[in-house]
Chain A
Amino acid sequence: MEPEPTVFVVDDDAAVLRAIAGAGKVLGRPVRSFASAAEFLTAYDPAQPGCLVLDIKMPGMTGLELQQELADKGLTIPIVVVSGHADVRIAVEVMTRGAVTLLEKPFRLDELLTHLRAALELDAADRARAVRQAETDSRLAVLTPKEREVLEAVATGKTNKEIAEELGLSLRAVEDRRARLMKKVQCRSVAELIQMLADRQGTGL
């Protein structure tokens, strides 16, 4: 069974940590609290879906540093940043590094919940896309180099005749390869094939 999406909270102030954790429970999701960035990093399993509520000003590793660390590791967990004194410089930095939003303390419960829901949806979408992508990659992996040539030509919208001329093959050979590769990547139509490739490219791979 897939693990349940979890709300992670990192704040050095125990009272604020408890309050955010309590608010997170209103969502009906499990909440895990951490008093420092380091604690979170050791406990966090990237396979675990969820989102992160992160305070900026903390002793030791700050929220900004943790955000950078996660980005460096290629972890895309959506982050809701909370701060007691956010100036424009910090706000810009946080947002350009891809945070969902920046909430200024004290904030309203509804604000927090709205952004937590958005963050969880974002994470779910990210993970779903990653799964589809992995699937696509595994299908493409079984193609021979020659089949791949044909695939690329088909994807750019060329007819079988054009492909045959381009690759110096007989029309019959192109038709054979094309039927084989469509079977391998489990696509019934060119439209489906292109959709699959576009999905994959959409993530910049």
Chain B
Amino acid sequence: MTARHRSSYLLSDRPAVWSLALTGIVFAIDLSLPLGVAAAVPYTFAVLLALKARARWFAPALAALCWVLTVAKMGLVPERGTTEYWKILVNRGLALFAIGMTTFLGVRRRQAETERAEAEEKAREHLATLARMGRLHTAGQLATGLAHELNQPLTAVCLQAETATRLAEGGAQVPDLLPTLREIAEQSHRAADIVRGLRRMLRQDEPAPTQVDVNEVVRAVCRLIDTQTRRAGVDVRLELAPVPPVRGDRVQLEQVVLNLLQNAVEAVSGITTDPRVVTVATSSDGPDRVTVRFRDTGAGLPPGDEHRLFERFFTTKPNGMGMGLAISRSIVEAHGGQVWANAAPDRGAVFTFTLPAGKG
């Protein structure tokens, strides 16, 4: 970072500028008025202000400057009247002590805050890792089950093939071998069916259908991330209207709701101005469609990129994978529904998905 960059960086940092200005004013007043120890008080204000600056080194540096100025005053302007020299020294010493203590306590507190933030970040990462491990675990269980399932037809095929070979070597005629050969073909198909079934399960293009109450799904997901939203200081409001059940895979629909809700909460927790509200509303447009809306008061959608939001690997987040919305869309579409995003009337974004209501 060059000196020029650094100064422009500092100038863009309001607390830094204000604290420097305050220090200058206090020094001017200190030079012209016989305030004694009272001059130290505004210096501590300047240090407190400097603690809000982005650069960590700034507050200690400003405190050092204040110290220098406090000492310098003695040399530059003689105390008026008949104040004894030791009283001046004590006054200045107290001032230096006040500035020093303020800096020390302020820096320590800022350190503690940073550490807490880092710990929270670590906990979040840990949760994410757990979720990933969970998916891997499920995949592992599937693989174990698959291995066991495939073992039976494989055992049959191996034995039958070797038996047929042995019979043929012993001079058996083709008609005698036919039942064995048919058995081999049949068991091979059985193995193929098992593999096909697993692939279908992993591709998730055929959800295991049950009757799902969307309102119940929304409530469950809200409970799931309740801590997260409260910690982020986000107010999640539910506006759940009575809706007909939809036909689909409950776990997958929970995944969609979780995804969209988490996105909304993240969008809102990124802003500094109130209100920080996420509204989840369900409604039924006619008897055969259920709609779920996630409205947030966040920064809104990236202009010009609305249509790319649901593409794989497209992300606006620094640590995003760009998979959440893509997965959500594939799930919703597999359920015969649609998902889209648009800007909210005043500010923020609205994500909406609809599902066909289904009975039976």
Contacts and interface: CB of A to CB of B under 8 A. Distances in A.
Contacts of B183: 15, 18-19, 22
Nearest to B152: A13
Interface stretch (B70-78, B156-164, B196-204, B282-290): B156-164
A37 B151 CA distance: 21
Given A84-B148, A85-B148, A106 B166 contact: no
A15 B156 contact: yes
B299 to A, nearest CB: 54
B178 to A, nearest CB: 13
B155 interface: yes
Contact of A20 (B148, B159, B190): B159
A87 B156 CA distance: 21
B108 to A, nearest CB: 56
A108 B167 CA distance: 15
B324 interface: no
Interface in B280-320: none
Contact of A15 (B163, B167, B190): B190
Q: Tell me if A's interface is mostly helix, strand, loop or mixed.
A: helix
B183 to A, nearest CB: 6
B156 A19 contact: yes
Most chain A Cβ neighbours within 10 Å, of B154, B160, B163, B166:
B163
A31 to B, nearest CB: 12
B180 interface: yes
A105 B183 CA distance: 18
B163 A16 contact: no
Contacts of B180: 22
A141 interface: no
Interface of A: 13, 15-16, 18-20, 22-23, 26, 84-85, 105-110, 112
Given A22-B163, A107-B155, 14 more contacts: A15-B183, A18-B183, A19-B155, A19-B156, A19-B159, A19-B163, A23-B159, A23-B163, A84-B152, A106-B159, A107-B159, A108-B158, A108-B162, A109-B166
